[in-house]
Chains A and B, each alone.
Chain A
């Protein structure tokens, strides 16, 4: 939270136009909106990833699911079945099937999540290439493209979409007992099983949800570039999503999670990228600066680091006192 505020503050000095918002053609424009817009795919993945990580798992395959969804949608759009509903449903279905494959490997066959989802991470791009016939498939369809570039209620539609998914997920987690169940499974699966929770079903469900989130992200990306690139769509995006969850304070061993904090994690990552570009620093520094900021955020969260840091300050104060 603080980190995000700091990055925004830095922008205020570096480039005042960062906060400039204007309305063109009934839609908001400006850097802030741009940050939100660009972080949409990662935010969608991170929402699903939060739940998976909370159960003590991890989903490496979401980037590949993006590619599969893109391939499915793009090819359908070039076929006679190009009605928008069919395409969207097919995309979501592809994500669900992929998530269900992960979920069954993890919950039914008991394969370690990192291995189980690694399978689809590799195989998924292969599947997408097969669907695409080894080509980058492009399409002309304004209705579908509006998912990526259109606007709703004055906001870009990717932003509207990830906010909707976020609100829906947050509502389900906090106003039903599902959040508690997921956290309990992450904290102690055996005790949860003994308490009557259907641990396998819960684990299965979070991978399915993660698959669906990835499918939505996949459609946003595909609609944005109006084409499906099996090799590069969503490449390494799963790592950004995991990072966002970790910045949001969740432990990879499972347990407590917070969707709002995860979202802040996503925004930190994206705001940094935009800031670096806007402030005129050469893009080649981008990755390095990004990792420095992330290390700082993680160190601030580490209780050991905070303790040692405050001890150091106290010692210096004492030393200063001695000298005086």
Chain B
């Protein structure tokens, strides 16, 4: 391993944003045929470093060497031509084009200046077969789930003559089987000598897949370690700069005292988004987990409750009264709040400032003719930023400049301001690091203790088990079973999902 040549070498990379050091003197070496994990908390500089490597940002200082030759990509296309391929955290493809066209966009094979559509089609089919994806490559990208779109984005990245492949949170929206497929492909690429940089917040995957780990903290490199020589708790300590207690600890929310009346009750609910036979009830202070594989109907339950999808049959009751929200504003008026799954599209309103994003829901609830007064607004925003430890230098900054975890906290804070009685979280920890992850789990427990009802959909069973006092297991858009109280364990949930129908 030691005689391997570094393919890509970064030396003393610095990057500043408006006076804030995003990267300070960072070194990184990628060897041919290794899988290298890049880890760090939110805002540690992982995304910035990747963007420097791909030319999306220009570096302020330092050298970038590919096979010993200094390069300075000015735009992502330059990096791609040089052999550095990147798959970003959020799918950056064009949903209105076909799958095949997306795979070969910008490098369409041509003959006499005309695009060879037939060749694109065949190549795309063959490429995706390696990913065990047998889908219609002629169909629009948007007709497939986010997970499949993500795999297609990765396929686009690995095809071609990539010497370096950068994957930013590639597994965030994949289920276990898809992750296994991806890993098999990555190992194959590694054998063929590609250097892979793997950014993730799933530590299990780091230990399963990678050879070496580089840890960033506050824009500086903490160190590079061989994965097998670095115990997990030491790694976490490096990332957080302190020993993290109790992150693995499970503290289910205490079920509320006595048998208070049901706050929310769903009876045999079916909806036009395909789910059917949903029945459960929730009391004040309950934390209800929605478990299941991708597409099992987890998010659909959230959509029904928030008035995004219409109910076709069955009954929903809120404090004993029938409840049929026709729109989010209906649901909000009755005390619901939803942190949506797709932060970029459904959550943040970019270029608006952090402040404006924070107050948006509360202001919408009050109506436009009753603006939040300046002093009150200032206090609310300051409290939210302090209360959720949102890292941002200035509340007037566009929200898009914040890291993913901090954006998620802004969306959470936006809803907490409206003082909801039922808070629905759809994948609240998707694409954020363990520090913010732990903070959000703590917050969930605290909110339940304060008497708020939480409904949380998540693909991370470990996380659901950590706080739920009831878990609804979904499969094929139907409620499979409910696991309650002491019976909750990771094993119980997994075996329920896996149990043959």
A residues near B, CB below 8 A? 175-178, 180-181, 183-184, 187-188, 190-198, 255-256
CA distance A77 to B370 in the complex (A): 41
What 7 pairs between A and B have smallest CB-CB spacing? A196-B364, A196-B332, A187-B349, A188-B349, A178-B368, A196-B329, A177-B371
In this complex, which of A175, A192, A194 has the most chain B Cβ atoms within 10 angstroms of its Cβ? A194
| Dominant secondary structure of chain A at its interface with chain B | helix
B347 within 8 A of A: yes
Once the chains bind, are A180 and B345 in contact (CB under 8 Å)? no
CA distance A37 to B328 in the complex (A): 46
CA distance A179 to B332 in the complex (A): 21
Tell which of A175, A180, A188, A195 touches B350, judged by Cβ atoms closer than 8 Å: A188
CA distance A192 to B327 in the complex (A): 12
Once the chains bind, are B368 and A191 in contact (CB under 8 Å)? no
- 9 sample A-B contacts, Cβ–Cβ < 8 Å, listed by A number: A177-B369, A187-B350, A188-B350, A194-B346, A195-B414, A196-B332, A196-B361, A197-B364, A198-B329
- Which B310-327 residues have a C-beta within 8 angstroms of A? 327
CA distance A307 to B363 in the complex (A): 38
Shortest Cβ gap from A308 to chain B (Å): 13
B356 within 8 A of A: yes
Once the chains bind, are B371 and A192 in contact (CB under 8 Å)? no
B352 within 8 A of A: yes
Known: A184-B352, A188-B349, A255-B351. A194 touches B364 (CB 8 A): no
Q: Which residues of A contact B361 (CB under 8 A)?
A: 195-196
Shortest Cβ gap from A179 to chain B (Å): 9
B residues near A, CB below 8 A? 306, 308, 327-329, 332, 338, 340, 345-352, 356, 359-361, 363-372, 414
Once the chains bind, are B328 and A184 in contact (CB under 8 Å)? no
CA distance A272 to B361 in the complex (A): 44
Shortest Cβ gap from B91 to chain A (Å): 16
CA distance A175 to B368 in the complex (A): 10
In this complex, which of A175, A188, A255 has the most chain B Cβ atoms within 10 angstroms of its Cβ? A188
Once the chains bind, are B371 and A188 in contact (CB under 8 Å)? no
CA distance A90 to B292 in the complex (A): 60
CA distance A188 to B342 in the complex (A): 13
CA distance A279 to B472 in the complex (A): 79
Known: A184-B352, A198-B329. A192 touches B368 (CB 8 A): no
Q: Which residues of A contact B371 (CB under 8 A)?
A: 175-177
Q: Which residues of B contact A184 (CB under 8 A)?
A: 349, 352, 356, 360
Known: A196-B364, A198-B329. A191 touches B356 (CB 8 A): no
CA distance A256 to B349 in the complex (A): 11
Q: Which residues of B contact A180 (CB under 8 A)?
A: 356, 359-360, 363
Shortest Cβ gap from A174 to chain B (Å): 9
Q: Which residues of A contact B350 (CB under 8 A)?
A: 187-188
Q: Which residues of B contact A256 (CB under 8 A)?
A: 351
Shortest Cβ gap from B21 to chain A (Å): 22
Tell which of A176, A177, A192, A198 touches B349, judged by Cβ atoms closer than 8 Å: A192
Q: Which residues of A contact B372 (CB under 8 A)?
A: 177
CA distance A176 to B356 in the complex (A): 13
Q: Which residues of B contact A190 (CB under 8 A)?
A: 345-346
Once the chains bind, are B363 and A194 in contact (CB under 8 Å)? no
CA distance A203 to B350 in the complex (A): 19
Q: Which residues of A contact B327 (CB under 8 A)?
A: 193, 198
Once the chains bind, are B348 and A177 in contact (CB under 8 Å)? no
Cβ-closest chain B residue relative to A174: B371
Once the chains bind, are B360 and A195 in contact (CB under 8 Å)? yes
CA distance A281 to B328 in the complex (A): 59
Cβ-closest chain A residue relative to B365: A196
Once the chains bind, are B360 and A192 in contact (CB under 8 Å)? yes
Known: A176-B371, A196-B361. A191 touches B351 (CB 8 A): no
Known: A184-B352, A194-B338, A196-B332. A176 touches B368 (CB 8 A): yes
In this complex, which of A180, A183, A192 has the most chain B Cβ atoms within 10 angstroms of its Cβ? A180
CA distance A175 to B360 in the complex (A): 15
Q: Which residues of A contact B346 (CB under 8 A)?
A: 190-191, 194
Cβ-closest chain A residue relative to B364: A196
Known: A175-B371, A178-B368, A184-B360. A193 touches B351 (CB 8 A): no
Shortest Cβ gap from A176 to chain B (Å): 5
Known: A184-B356, A191-B346, A195-B328. A177 touches B351 (CB 8 A): no
CA distance A178 to B372 in the complex (A): 12
